[in-house]
Structure 1
Amino acid sequence: MITRDASAFAELARCIQPDIDAACPRAVFLVAPDGFRVDEESASDNAYMALGEADPGRALAQHRALHAAVSADRPAIVFPGSTATPDAVFPNNVFATARVAGQGRVVIGHMRHAGRRREAGRADIREFFTGVLGHALVDLSTQPGICELTGSLVIDRARGIGFCGLSERCDETGARAMMEAFGLRGVLMFDLASGEYHANVVMSVLAGRALVLAPQGFADRSVAAAIGTIYRDVVSLEPEAKAAFAGNCIAVDERRAWFSTRAAQSLNAAQRAQLARAGFEIGSVDLDEIEKAGGSLRCCIGEIY
């Protein structure tokens, strides 16, 4: 099923027994912020970006701390960055993986901006997944629809379903291509609110058990409400928490949810208690320098399935 009917999709999703063993990645990968800067091209449709001077050294130090932190939960690989691709610090938009019928796949996204299309052509990352890990290549970078992978598509791996926010960064053609590439049972398409660029800034599914979402990030808030009926534990974010990137979180294992420090500080006591009820500790890392580029912790982490 691929649909815009949120009620019908939620009814389907509630009938799927989650496979918790499939909910989290086996490992993760990152791309270092070498030559880090705020890219004006990306800023044309990313309101979260802070135009102006960025400190490359501070960004690199924060990124190293992130690598060390998530390595406590899963093996974490770091690829070098490049001054020619300043947004490469957010690799999950360009490279993603899946396991379909027992076979690993690496999916390459079709990026909207030219700088990110250069990133998609990186031979070293492609070779790592295909030559070293033996993943099959599914290259969407030249197909007609724009699809910025797990930036636009929030995947519940335990249920094999996805939530695709449509914007300039993803269209319906791209959503359909991603559903096939990731081997999903179903995808719910919905329009993001004006000013939003990626679904993973306004929602996250944590290990198939909990949902974090900002209803104001949806053009139609009834869609957010319908998605909320799928999960027992739902953390609803206020606008201030969304702006602090609290929706851009991830659980790379079953016990801990990772947020940037700014995002974690935006959570109130009730929201923290909801995450604890769902079985999650909160981990956090300072990423305010990297967040100047318009993304946060989840955007920095690619998953290896």
Structure 2
Amino acid sequence: MPLTEPAVTTTAPAPAPLRVATRRRLLMCRPRHYDVTYSINPWMHPEKSTDTALAVRQWERLRDLYLELGHVVEEIDPIDGLPDMVFAANGATVVDGKVYGARFRHLQRTAEGPAYLDWFARRGHTELLWPEYVNEGEGDILTVGRRLLAGTGFRTDPRSHAEAQEFFGLPVTSLTLVDPNYYHLDTALAVLSDDEVMYYPAAFSEGSRSVLRTLFPHAILATAEDAAVFGLNAFSDGRHVLLPDAATGLKAQLSARGFEPIGVDLSELLKAGGSVKCCTLELRER
């Protein structure tokens, strides 16, 4: 019998990294004309009532949070007859000051693409591209460091992925969405930092899940419950993560990783299939 017991070694959990917020410039559109009068995704039910005044108040709270966190918010004027124009993320993709315009799949939203591109042109942007192929802006094109993740399957034409790569000169990784409830990439995946994301695996094809595991082996994985409340339609400045308040599991996971989750109520806009990220287009300059 040994005279002493063998030493038991324990490994303390690694401390969460120190998160640093980066000041962002954002474009938003007040939901002055918001309504659900047609259905182009599973969340939209025109037979149910909507409350435009409530949508405005919830949107204003999101905008005010951005301002309180030190971000710059610019606004594009809403256009009567374009109730989904509030979802500014769909209006373009902006990287290094270059603006890749949006071309919408559904007739009800086609006028939004030129409206957003005109906003950029009137503010002096010269590197603008009106796309040949359907793409719905940051709804399906998300920037992670110096890489673009590009979704397809329901809205965006996969040929636009090559078009974006040529325009921005950045590598594009294509990801296929398979669940119609998560029809845009930004409903199934959120960028947290230059090398971190969170996503809902069941929203993606088997091959795309494999790609995501390879690129982001330590990603936060969302439950079906958190995905269903649009918890992945979130915005991160590197420290603060604004996301639907009902995504309690994701908030706990984010806190454990050193992020500061901030719950936001955009329940009225969810009736049209949008939340935090949908309302927020990041204006990335060089």
Unaligned runs of 5+ in 1: 1-19
Residue 142 of structure 2 is matched in structure 1 by 154
Instruction: Give the deviation of 1:191 after TM superposition.
Output: 4.0
Instruction: Report the 3-state secondary structure (helix = DSSP H, G, I; strand = E; otherwise coil) of the residue aligned with 1:147.
Output: coil
Amino acid at match of 1:67: R
Which residue of 29, 32, 37 corresponds with 1:31?
29
Instruction: Give the deviation of 1:153 after TM superposition.
Output: 2.0
Instruction: Give the deviation of 1:277 after TM superposition.
Output: 4.3
The within-5 A match list for 1:157-168 is 158=145, 160-168=146-154
Report the number of matched residues: 264
Identity of paired residues, percent?
24
Residue 91 of structure 1 is matched in structure 2 by 88
Which residue of 129, 132, 153 corresponds with 1:138?
129
Give the TM-score taking structure 1 as reference length: 0.79
Instruction: Give the deviation of 1:272 after TM superposition.
Output: 3.6
Instruction: Give the deviation of 1:224 after TM superposition.
Output: 2.0
Instruction: Give the deviation of 1:209 after TM superposition.
Output: 4.0
Instruction: Give the deviation of 1:83 after TM superposition.
Output: 2.6
CA contact 1:39–1:293 (8 Å) conserved in 2 = no
Give the TM-score taking structure 2 as reference length: 0.84
Instruction: Give the deviation of 1:116 after TM superposition.
Output: 1.6
Q: Deviations over 1:147-175 (max 9, x none)?
A: 1121112221x1x2222221231122122
CA contact 2:85–2:112 (8 Å) conserved in 1 = yes
Q: Distance in 2 between matches of 1:198 and 1:25?
A: 26
Residue 299 of structure 1 is matched in structure 2 by 278
CA contact 1:261–1:286 (8 Å) conserved in 2 = yes
Instruction: Report the 3-state secondary structure (helix = DSSP H, G, I; strand = E; otherwise coil) of the residue aligned with 2:110.
Output: helix
Q: Does 1:47 align with 2:42?
A: yes
State which structure, 1 or 2, has the greater radius of gyration over its C-alpha atoms.
2
Residue 227 of structure 2 is matched in structure 1 by 242
Instruction: Give the deviation of 1:37 after TM superposition.
Output: 0.2
Counterparts in 2 of 1:30 and 1:276: CA distance versus 1, 3 Å = same
Q: Does 1:118 align with 2:111?
A: yes
CA contact 2:93–2:141 (8 Å) conserved in 1 = no
Amino acid at match of 1:35: H
Residue 248 of structure 2 is matched in structure 1 by 267
Residue 56 of structure 1 is matched in structure 2 by 52
Q: Distance in 2 between matches of 1:26 and 1:129?
A: 17
Residue 7 of structure 1 is matched in structure 2 by none
Residue 210 of structure 1 is matched in structure 2 by 196
Q: Deviations over 1:227-268 (max 9, x none)?
A: 1343364221121211100111111x2210110223xxx332
Unaligned runs of 5+ in 2: 1-18
Amino acid at match of 2:29: V
Q: Does 1:283 align with 2:274?
A: no
Amino acid at match of 2:65: A
Q: Does 1:254 align with 2:254?
A: no
Q: Does 1:68 align with 2:82?
A: no
Q: Distance in 1 between matches of 2:22 and 2:168?
A: 15
Q: Deviations over 1:184-226 (max 9, x none)?
A: 2232242433553111111112122431111111132x52243
Amino acid at match of 1:258: L
Q: Distance in 2 between matches of 1:191 and 1:57?
A: 33
Amino acid at match of 2:128: L
Instruction: Report the 3-state secondary structure (helix = DSSP H, G, I; strand = E; otherwise coil) of the residue aligned with 1:34.
Output: coil
CA contact 1:233–1:275 (8 Å) conserved in 2 = no
Q: Distance in 1 between matches of 2:198 and 2:75?
A: 27
Q: Distance in 2 between matches of 1:241 and 1:286?
A: 14
Q: Distance in 1 between matches of 2:59 and 2:208?
A: 34
Q: Distance in 1 between matches of 2:166 and 2:22?
A: 20
